[in-house]
Amino acid sequence: MFKNISRINRNAAKAASNRSSVIRRTAIRSYSSSGEQSSSGGSGSGAAIFAGGALLTGIGLYYFNNVNHNYEGTRNQALAKVEEKLPVESGSRDYQKVYNAIVDILETEDYDDGTFAPVLLRLAWHASGTFSKYDKANPGGSNKATMRFKAEAEDGANAGLEVGRDLLNNKVKPQFPWISYGDLWTLAGVAALQEMGGPKTAWRPGRIDGTDEREAITERLPDGAKDEGHIKNIFERLGFDDEEAVCLIGAHAVGRTHKDRSGFEGPWTFSPVTFSNQFYRLLLDSDWQVKKWDGPKQYEDQETKSLMMLPTDYALRTSEKYRPIVEKYAADEDKFFSDFARAFAKLIELGVPLKQLEHSPPVFFKTSDEIEAEKESK
């Protein structure tokens, strides 16, 4: 049974009080047989993030089975090579306009839960999460946008991300041909995060687009079917400590999984297009059981059977090392937001040489709500 479910409702409403208008306009949709409807100002069920092929999203952040699937996509359109070169000085580029163009295409009635935001957050996470501090020759990360290449695009962990890539490559890149794919994908992750009500997050331009398909990286992203040791190994390789690891996994607050992509099915939370600390609260306050079905092992909440947790998620609850961090973020959303902003900014710069970033100070983007408020005040 859910414990303190009324508290979850109240906190969800509070967390959503300042959510961006793009998400607030998204219609509430039914994605489960029953359960708590978030009072988050109109945000409904979420698009996929890290595990499942739609998102956060989620920045997801992000754990996937490398399974066979027949998902129809247009990923081959995103595999063309581009000339490798350093971007010009950012002073001649208006990245806020790029942000605004991304916001303009987030809302849709034809994809998942009414928004592409979660899948864009997940795209940024996966484009960056291939980094390895141990591989000096090919460290991975967001620098060369190697998910444009066939091997990485078709890695099972990236199933469904052609949705996000094609959206940005076809709708936004033509408007701003000067922006690199790595910069575009990571900027879109920041836009998705902020427009779902998440924290203001620093972003810097400077990524280049590689030309060597041999630099594509596979089998480095997290696997949701694994255990606590897998979490430690993945995030240690990325250069994150235990607190940062648990914090980044908290992006499972948004998005959902898809059986035809990761093999898993369902959303993690009742308001999966609103970024909040609800993932942690549900993980602790709900009673979970192994789902009886024909898919890979996952957990479902006993009360509604509409939510899911991956084995790696559930490991956070049972771990003596990770559980205290989960409890901290469940109790303090402001702390979670502050830590997530720092960890995500660090994530999306992994693998990018400092010399490519140091020419530009961090950019903090205005949200669509802030821009609208400025217009109304004039």
Catalytically active residues are 126, 268
First to last CA, the chain: 50
Checking DSSP bridges between strand 299-301 and strand 288-290, what pairing results, if any? antiparallel
Q: Which helix (H) or strand (E) holds 256?
A: strand 256-257
DSSP classification of residue 154: T
| CB 131, CB 44: distance < 8 Å | no
Any bridge partners for residue 164, and if so which?
none
And the tokens for 61?
């952040």
DSSP-assigned letters across all residues of 235-302: HHHHT--HHHHHHHHGGGGS-EE-TTTTS--EESSS-TTS-SSHHHHHHHHS-EEE--SSSS--EEET
How many angstroms separate the CA atoms of 343 and 286, rounded? 27
Judging by beta carbons within 10 Å of its beta carbon (0-12, 13-18, 19+), is residue 221 exposed, middle or buried? buried
